[in-house]
Amino acid sequence: MEPNGSGSDASRQVQARFVTRLPPPLRVPPASMAVPSHLTRFGLSDIVNLLLKNSDPDHENQPFDFLIDGELVRMQLDEFLIAKGISAEKVLELEYVKAVAPRKQEDPRPHDDWVSAVDGSNSSFILTGCYDTFVRIWKSGDVSECTHVLEGHTGAITSAKFIDIRGVENEQNFHLVTGSKDRLLRLWKCDAAKRRGDPIRVGAYKILAGHTSSVQSVSVNPSREMICSGSWDCSIKLWDVKESEEDGDGTTISLKKRKVNSKTKESVDARLEGAATSTLVGHTQCVSVATWPDPDVLYSASWDHSVRQWDVPSGKETWTMVCGKALNCLDIGGEGSALVAAGGSDPVLRIWDPRKPGSLAPIFQYSSHSSWISACKWHPRSWFHLLSASYDGKVMLWDLRTAWPLAVMESHQDKVLCADWWKDDSVVSGGADSKLCITSGIEIQ
Amino acid sequence: MGKEKYEESSSDEEVNSSSDVVEASSDEEVESSSDEVEASSDDVESSEDESSSDNEKVEESDSSEDEVAPRNTVGDIPLVEWHKDEEHIGYDIKGRKIKKQPRKDKLASFIEGADDPKNWRKIYDEYNDEEIELTKDEIKIIQRVISGRTPHAEVNPYEDYVDWFEYEDKGHPLSNAPEPKRRFIPSKWEQKRVANLVRKIRAGLIKVSDQNKEEEHNVYSLWTDDTDSVENKKRGGYVPAPKPKLPGHEEAYNPPVEYIPTAEEINSYELMYEEDRPKFIPRRYLNYRSVPAYDKGVKESFDRCLDQYLCPRTRKKRINIDPESLKPKLPSRKDLRPYPTTCYLEYRGHMGPVNCISVDPSGQWLASGSTDGTARVWEIETGRCLKIWEVGEVARQICWNPSPDRPILAVVLEYDVLLLNSGMGDIDIQTKMKELLHISEPGATEDAGDSKSAVTWIQHEKHDGIRMKHFKAVSSIEWHFKGDYFTTVVPSGDSKAILLHQLSKKHSETPFRKLGIPVTAVFHPSKKKFFVATKKFVHVYDLSKVEKIQKLETGVREISSISIHPGGENIIVGSKEGKMCWFDLELSTRPYKTLKVHSKDITRVTFHRTYPLFASASDDCTAYVFHSTVYSDLNQNPLIVPLEILRGHKPEHGRGVLDCKYHPRQPWLFTAGADSIIKLYCH
């Protein structure tokens, strides 16, 4: 216990103790020690690595991030303490976590046209939708191997989602849904069997018609039996996909059938035709996103500047929040899977807490982008991490505990149109440079 | 003799009436005396000249007699009655009784009178109880008075008249003529002149200057300070030299100790600036004679003299106006959000200047026409080019059909107007569009009534649309809000300059004749009105009656663009000299406001359909965004606030922004530049 140096600032020290929730090999002794206060997270990271090397000579240096009172240190330690008004007299508890940063940039998967939709919810496949009207499935691991090409749409794909995310290990077929600017949704069934050679051409087994304008987004509900879609015709339609599967029985529909929209065209074969079970009307402009995170609750964002929460059984909207900007993307996640992250026609990524009473002001605003935000996604397991993609060609990783992006991925040369997490540690993004970029090695506990 | 008789009678009466005293004495006595007076009157007359020498004496005696105060003080009482039995006749001034004289009996007095030749001159003064003997002169005066002549003989009542001035041989204009009448009556001409002046003053033709005031100003105050007087201010504000400071205690030869600066203070003066340093440092002297001469005295008085006559001491008139207060009171820009501010998206692909853009009524697609001979459709949200038509000529104007179920694009080329199926919309709309844009007999549908038709409707094979061949160059096109009618303007078309077309019937007509050179024409957003802009005027027509309602005078050199407020009562007009005019149709036919904003031609003005915004694009590479609130209250004028200058386009061949259009539902502005880029400015 040395007294703090009162001479030059460089020698000023603070008492700190390093704690962590990481597994034992990465734990340092909990004794408090004096650290120079001008250190940044890199210096602190060196100290932790040194301590770890003392206990374990085989330890490999790795970057850490440091939290003080639940906030990430993003400047010099003394500046941080002054900015947050924390006393330097007490022993600081520095919690260290593994730094979240992309470590590996995989080769981009080339496409024929702009990549407008991507889904990484399946750990073995990546689903991409493209402006050339094709939907592609890419297998993990192998470089630029496209396993399936789904043909049938006549317009650009705007959204593509896995319906069931069972992997290839059980050798089952998996189902997909895609939405397109040709006003239709298509359901696909793919064979997940491993095969070499040319990609398999697949046709849709069912066409869901009903939207009168471009479908902008498709989302699958948690029970994997329903999907919802938002469209330029200002409506959200709910579709039952369980009954359409051959092996599923139509009687086990959890939702009551409401008004069936029967504006389907005779031009499409009736056998392939599917109709919406319900339509949620309320938005006045293009519904750009509709997500279905909870069995009973559906969120939608629209160009009419509003985010709406819908109660699915009653079809009523329960919460409306007007943010003043046309919204392009929306995701629900974070703490208790309740925070709403949305971005739109300005460079600010905003996060709201619908549970907070009386206030519709965003609780977080991140404005490091320089153009429209085209996609935002919460990390599937972390409460703090989310990614955002923007027309300025950047994909950014965010932690709610700091106002600066954790990482900026500038792998695209043009607008990024879509982005998603993949396998918890990778980010897949597609853009107007016709590439699907995969950034992996992002360790998030 | 007759004359004498007359004198007698008259004198009798006079004596009788004039003096009671004589009467009181006795009638006989008076009679006798009067006779004697009469008898001696001739004597008096004859001796007039003799007595003239005695005049002075008489006067003296008169005056001396006057000075003798009457002895009796009883006043004017009837003495005869009251003091008849008393022994006294009254009281003297000291209050003593005045005894009566012993009364002579009549006989004795008669004898005495008879003896005394002067008896006829004696009069008894009853008041003082004494006898008075009149002198000869007094008798004479009495006699002259009685005889009606002047009392004194030397007065000549008939003297010769002597003129009071001399006029003969003096060459003097004065005349002796009697004063004419006109000198005594008011002048008629003066009266007329006064009446004339009064009339002019009342009418305000003559200002009556207050002369009294000037007279007052002649008296000036010698001692008071007149710097604040009105006259001084009028003259330009002379300021007198400041009075020198009066000497204080510190200038005494032996001031109190507190005035004496300490040595430290004196040293500190050395550190001060020359101007701030005190000029006089007090010192103490034992006595007055040891005080030295003031060394700066001459210099200071010289300085003061210089200061008094050289220093220009006039009050400068400076108008202190806060420049902020001159600005019109406008609401803050923050309160007028949202409005387009930043460019986030660019639509790149055209190879030449983009002449025109148009946004689809749903707000999903953007159409553009360029000099590179293509028309394109873009997806607004991503900036992707969805469709390209190679039209082969310069696309001058492009326009989406405002009806959402008719996704038709009208493209203006040099002589042709192309109606293209944009390919948006679902299948049944597409089939309808194909039917609509199909002409069964090419050339059959012509302008009825005219031998030489202005427009020919032809099927366009290459792009699956309709080609409308005009007889002369077309400048602009505008759809009616219902989406069936549209108008094209052929500036050099004379009587067929404005064409109205009906899409469903493939029919054209020219309802308006006798126009100048029209520039552009637009439909009213809700009513059956039609606006035609010629080079300097905007004509408003009623479409149902086909007649002119209004003619708006813009006052600009050449109109380039016109836009109608969604409410329909306000229009803006952009001109080729960079001016923008706002018209309130209910207010006036002249501009409510003229905004001089651009340095070069305004290429396009446009209103937002839902937000209170309008914008102007110009060849100086800028687009201006304005806020415009139009109140439903007719008494309130529209509020126009400039909000933002949008820059970003680069000049190309001297041209800048060629077109600007608002997004129909978002507060976003699209600008098309000569640098072949379309930019989207978002809020």
Q: How many C-beta atoms surround the C-beta of residue B255 within 10 A? A: 16
Give dist(CA B91, CA B608) in Å, integer: 130
Residues from chain A that touch B342, judged by Cβ atoms under 8 A, are: 346
What pLDDT does residue A174 have? 77
Mutation target for A interface from B381, B405, B663, B679: give the one with most A CBs within 10 A: B381
Encoding tokens for residue B111? 């004898």
- Judging contacts by C-beta atoms under 8 Å, the chain B residues touching residue A371 are 344-345
In single-letter form, the type of residue at position A373 comes to I
Strands B342-348 and B354-359: unpaired
Range among A157-161, B32-36, B461-465 rated most confident: A157-161
Residue A301 has pLDDT above 50, yes or no: yes
DSSP calls for B504-552? TTTEEE----S-----EEEE-SSSSEEEEE-SSEEEEEETTTTEEEEEE
Share of residues in chain A with pLDDT > 90 (%) = 7
Residue A387 φ then ψ, to 5°: -120, 155
B614: nearest Cα among B667, B546, B577 = B667
- The partner residue sitting opposite B345, judged by closest CB among A183, A304, A391, is A391
Q: Taking CB atoms and an 8 Å limit, are B683 and A372 in contact across chains?
A: no
β-bridge partners, B581: B573, B594
**Per-residue pLDDT tens digits for B533-577:** 888 888 888 888 888 888 888 888 889 999 999 888 889 999 988
Report the b/e string of B261-287 with b at 16+ CB within 10 A: beeeeeeeeeeeeeeeeeeeebeeeee
Mean pLDDT of B521-543: 88
User: Could you tell me which residues of chain B have a Cβ less than 8 Å from any Cβ in chain A?
Assistant: 337-338, 342, 344-345, 362-364, 381-384, 426-428, 665-666, 668, 682-683
Tell me how far apart the alpha carbons of residues B3 and B669 are, in angstroms, rounded to a whole number. Answer: 139
In angstroms, the Cα distances linking B169 to B14, B164, B165, B166, B173 are: 52, 15, 12, 8, 11
Q: Residues A347-390: pLDDT tens digits?
A: 999 998 888 887 788 888 998 899 999 999 998 888 888 999 99
Q: Would you state the pLDDT for residue B204?
A: 87
> Is B44 strand, coil or helix?
helix
Q: Which of B338, B345, B364 sits opposite A232 (nearest CB)?
A: B364
Report whether pLDDT(B524) > 60: yes
pLDDT on residue B587? 83
Per-position DSSP letters for A249-291, written without gaps between them? -TT--SSPP--------TTS-GGGEE-EEEEEE--SS-EEEEE
> Which two structure tokens, joined as six digits, stand for A430?
């597609």
Considering only CA atoms, give the Rg of chain B: 63
* Beta strands A206-209 and A273-274, pairing class: parallel
A→B contacts (Cβ < 8 Å), by residue, are 114, 116, 131, 156, 183, 212-214, 232, 265, 267, 285-286, 288, 303-304, 324-326, 328, 345-347, 371-372, 391, 415, 417, 432
| Range B277-293 average pLDDT | 88
pLDDT at B189: 92
Distance, CA of B101 to CA of A409 (rounded, Å): 166
pLDDT of residue A243: 55
**Chain A residues in contact with B364 (beta carbon < 8 A):** 213-214, 232, 286
Residue A428 near residue A412, CB atoms below 8 Å: no
Q: Strand B416-421 to strand A200-203: parallel, antiparallel, or no bridges (unpaired)?
A: unpaired
- Please list every residue in chain B whose beta carbon sits closer than 8 Å to the beta carbon of residue A156: 384
State the smallest CA–CA distance between residue B487 and chain A in angstroms: 29
Query: What percentage of chain B carries pLDDT values higher than 90?
Result: 10
For the ranges A180-194, B36-50, B208-222, the lowest mean pLDDT is seen at B36-50
Tokens representing A171 are 């050798």
Between these two residues, B29 and A197, which has the higher pLDDT value? A197
Q: Which residues of A touch B337 (CB under 8 A)?
A: 324
**Max Cα–Cα distance, chain A, nearest Å:** 86
Quickly state the pLDDT bin for B227 (edges 50, 70, 90): low
User: How would residue B190 be classed by pLDDT, with cut points 50, 70 and 90?
Assistant: very high
- Residue B615's closest CA among B536, B551, B683? B683
Distance CA B74, CA B101 (A): 17
Three-state SS for A313? coil
Task: State percent of chain B over pLDDT 70.
Answer: 81
d(CA B19, CA B50): 29
Q: Is the torsion defined by CA of B332, B333, B336, B337 positive or negative?
A: negative
Residue of chain A minimizing CA distance to B428:
A265
Reported as a single tens digit per residue, the pLDDT across A27-46 is 887 788 888 888 888 888 88
Max mean pLDDT among A96-105, A178-187, B240-249, B320-329 falls in: A178-187
Average pLDDT, chain B: 79
A328 contacts on B by Cβ (under 8 Å): 381
- Per-residue confidence (pLDDT) for residue A166, from 0 to 100: 55
Nearest by CB to B338, which of A212, A303, A324? A324
Tens digits of residue pLDDT in B465-512: 888 888 888 888 888 888 888 888 888 877 788 888 888 888 888 887
Across all residues in chain A, what is the average pLDDT?
Answer: 80
pLDDT value for B27:
41
- The CA-atom distances, in angstroms, between B235 and each of A255, B238, B239, B311, B682 are 96, 7, 11, 17, 61
- pLDDT of residue B1 exceeding 80: no
Q: B509 to chain A nearest CA, in Å? A: 36
B668 contacts on A by Cβ (under 8 Å): 345
Chain B nearest CA to A30, separation (Å)? 50
Q: Among A311-320, B45-54, B142-151, which stretch is predicted with the lowest mean pLDDT? A: B45-54
Cα of first residue to Cα of last residue in chain A, in angstroms, is: 34
| Interface contact flag, A372 B345, Cβ < 8 Å | yes
Quote the pLDDT of residue A272.
64
Question: How many residues are given for chain B?
Answer: 683
Lowest mean pLDDT among A182-196, A326-340, B149-163: A182-196
Cβ separation B666–A214 shorter than 8 A: no
Residue B448 has pLDDT above 70, yes or no: no
Quick one: pLDDT at residue B2? 40
Q: Which residues of A touch B363 (CB under 8 A)?
A: 285-286, 303
B96 by Cβ neighbours in 10 Å (0-12 / 13-18 / 19+) ranks as exposed
- Please compute the mean of the pLDDT values over residues B384-394 and round it to a whole number: 87
Interface A–B counts its CB contacts (< 8 A) at 57
A214: which chain B residues are within 8 Å (Cβ-Cβ)? 364
Q: Residue B16 above 50 pLDDT? A: no
What is residue B441's predicted lDDT score, i.e. its pLDDT?
Answer: 62
Tell me the per-residue pLDDT of B30-41, one tens digit each, with 9 for 90 and over. 444 444 444 444
User: Which residues in chain A have Cβ-Cβ distances shorter than 8 Å to B665?
Assistant: 285, 303-304
pLDDT of B408 above 70: yes
Cis peptide bond N-terminal to B338, omega within 30: yes
Minimal Cα distance from A302: which residue of B? B666
User: Which pLDDT score, from 0 to 100, does residue A168 have?
Assistant: 45
pLDDT score at A258 = 34
Of B337, B344, B666, the CB nearest to A372: B344
* pLDDT exceeds cutoff 60 at A249: no
